[in-house]
Amino acid sequence: MKKEAKLGIFFLFTIAVFICGILVFGKLKLSSGAYEFYIDYDFTGDLRANGKVRYRGGSIDIGYVESITINENDSLRVKVIITMDDMELPLDTVFTIQTVGFGLGEKYILVNPPLVRTLGIGFIEQGNIVNGVEPVSIESTIGSFGDIGKDINISDINNFIKDISSIVSNVNTILDNNNMAINSIITNIDDITEEINTISSSIAQNDKKINDVIQNADSAFLYLKNITEIINTDKEKITTIMSNLEVFSERIKNDPSILLFSKESQKK
């Protein structure tokens, strides 16, 4: 056998071993904890096979997209391979298609399991089919704006602008015709404001007078209180004086001459 033939057979054998190794190790990896399932979308944007599957925010890769096929109802079915060991996804997990960067990078599937587990909800198992959340299509959004533009009638817009111009013109006419009345109203408002300020000032002055009266009343009340305390203190003296006055009054009634003559002159 020639040397070139031997090299060719060795080369083919090496390639065959390499391919078999890939298949064997791939199956071993899949059986070590990874599994596959399907996600149905009505629209996948620019998602491609071999796209990444990322977990919560996109910082962790947990798998990849193996293939994208068309269902009988024209929806799209994405086959997902989860390669992370011991990764269990609840059935109510949300699968959205996101874009790296500001809508210009590669597409990937973002996996968002619920933060709170719902009792009775199981996990996605090998070969399950779940529904995904479609991404926002920029093209369809622009098309929607175009459809809105088609529905707009230019004549209606022109009529609307004319109506606004007419309203503005009418308002200007009203202002011009009633300029004197408006100025008079403004002047009256200024006068009323000045009168309100004057009344407020008078109220403030009257408040001061009222405070003075209250203070004087407090002083008078204190004075009367002092007099009352003095009267209560000298009550016995005042009673004695009043008794003496009553006795003296009786004596004057009985003998008025007392007022003319003293006791000494009467004795003589």
Q: Is the pLDDT of residue 27 over 70?
A: no
Q: Is the pLDDT of residue 138 over 60?
A: no
Cβ neighbours, 10 Å, residue 124: 23
Per-residue pLDDT of 197-241, as tens digits, reads 788 777 777 777 777 767 776 776 676 777 777 766 766 777 777
Per-residue pLDDT of 31-81, as tens digits, reads 445 789 999 999 998 899 999 999 988 789 999 999 999 999 999 999 999
Cβ neighbours, 10 Å, residue 118: 9
pLDDT of residue 13: 76
pLDDT of residue 62: 94
User: Within the chain, what is the greatest distance between any pair of CA atoms?
Assistant: 194
Between strands 107-112 and 94-99, the pairing is: antiparallel
Round the CA-based radius of gyration of the chain to a whole number and report it: 55
Give the chain's mean pLDDT. Answer: 77
Check if the beta carbon of residue 77 is closer than 8 Å to that of residue 69. yes
pLDDT of residue 103: 58
pLDDT of residue 59: 83
